A and B are shown apart, each in its own frame.
Chain A
């Protein structure tokens, strides 16, 4: 059964899902969505995803949305296939959940603001709020200092194994490093930089960037 992924391949949340499906060796089909023409606010799309955001997946007659929920679903469903993304024990899974929550609650908000104001708004001809950009950069720097400390003791975020927690960071960090000129935030932190080089060189991520 092929999983249909509704969403443009360039958005962070869609890429997060695709990276997971590729790591687990799950067949997928991309159904592109034209965000510029507000396809995500179209009534037919809202039946699938009532909040009008991307992505949404259709797996037969089963629909799921929120990228981090999709991640957990497939990592659990295909636990014995592809890369193990949830750790091996209940305790390891707890630590994976912890860093996945850190990504969702502490990393995502400031980095998303930077991406929206420095990449998306210019494309739309909307002026960036530079005060908000500055505040978000400061917040993100504090979060990255904590990551630097963590990654000095542990190869990956949840331990010495790659997991959903690391994977979830790939899309936004890719934009930070290679698109909005803030790569210094990663490169100035030795362990964060090594971690970034490691996770972004995974074949799954390279594949996502080609889609």
Chain B
């Protein structure tokens, strides 16, 4: 009788302890899981390409930690950073043991990996819409960006680095940029957003450089084109971006 009772008690204690241990294991795994799950973005708040990534993470409602890179002391050109990004540019994403650079690759990765979170930025499941998103991301890369970058660079980035604005270069760039915007104006006459009647990564990718342009007298290039203007006002008022724009202080 005693032996049976002690056996039962022993078994009972063992099963409680094992349940407690299981519980503790599950809890600690969850904590570990959420600790390792936080993405790290190496960059700086006022940087256009960092802003592109942070806006995307906000739209996808994905938690992240922004790890500042001290551009002023050339941190991005030092060996520790170059080991992550051999071209010495920000931003860089760390997701557990994956390191990625190039902001448009990071935003594509985040949009695909977290396809069930937040806004569907890449039209997952609709291959044709996804194709159109791709087109306008490439248009930003190959047409819009080369046209707008000289303006933003001359007005804000070069002076920040101690140089002076070349106004002739700005005017020449503005003329080219105007021609690109004419195509955008025609496109946005037929479609609320660039890839269709839905907000996507294609629109998002245009935000950072355009934000800085709009701080200058060259905002007129956008404002003089009614559909481009309406599109700009729409996409730049999204909370996922306005939060990021608070730190975009290059233009004062």
Q: Which residues of A contact B (CB under 8 A)?
A: 50-51, 62, 64-69, 72-73, 76-77, 90-91, 93-95, 97-98, 100-102, 104-106, 109, 143, 146, 149-150
Contacts and interface: CB of A to CB of B under 8 A. Distances in A.
Which of A65, A72, A76 has the most B CB atoms < 10 Å from its CB? Answer: A72
Contacts of A98: 100-102, 105-106
Contacts of B108: 94, 97
A151 B101 CA distance: 17
A94 B100 contact: yes
Nearest to A109: B146
Nearest to B107: A97
B73 interface: no
Contacts of B113: 90, 94
Interface in B171-209: 180, 183, 186-187
B135 A106 contact: no
Interface residues of B, number: 31
6 contacts: A76-B130, A97-B100, A97-B105, A98-B100, A100-B105, A105-B102
B80 interface: no
Contacts of A77: 127, 131
A146 B105 contact: no
Nearest to B135: A69
A97 B102 contact: yes
Interface in B26-48: none
B5 interface: no
Interface in B102-146: 102, 104-106, 108-109, 112-113, 127-128, 130-132, 134-135, 137-139, 141-143, 146
Give the dominant DSSP class at B's interface.
helix
A76 to B, nearest CB: 7
Given A66-B139, A69-B137, A105-B141, A90 B112 contact: yes
B109 A97 contact: yes
Contact of A90 (B87, B106, B109, B135): B109
A88 to B, nearest CB: 13
Nearest to B104: A101
A91 B109 CA distance: 7
Nearest to A73: B131
Contacts of B130: 73, 76
B2 interface: no
Contacts of B143: 51
Contact of B138 (A69, A143, A149, A150): A69
Given A93-B112, A94-B106, 6 more contacts: A50-B187, A51-B180, A66-B142, A68-B141, A98-B102, A98-B106
Contacts of A67: 138
B239 interface: no
Contacts of A76: 127, 130
Contacts of A62: 128, 131
Contacts of B112: 90, 93-94
B78 to A, nearest CB: 16
Contacts of B226: none
A91 B98 contact: yes
B86 interface: yes
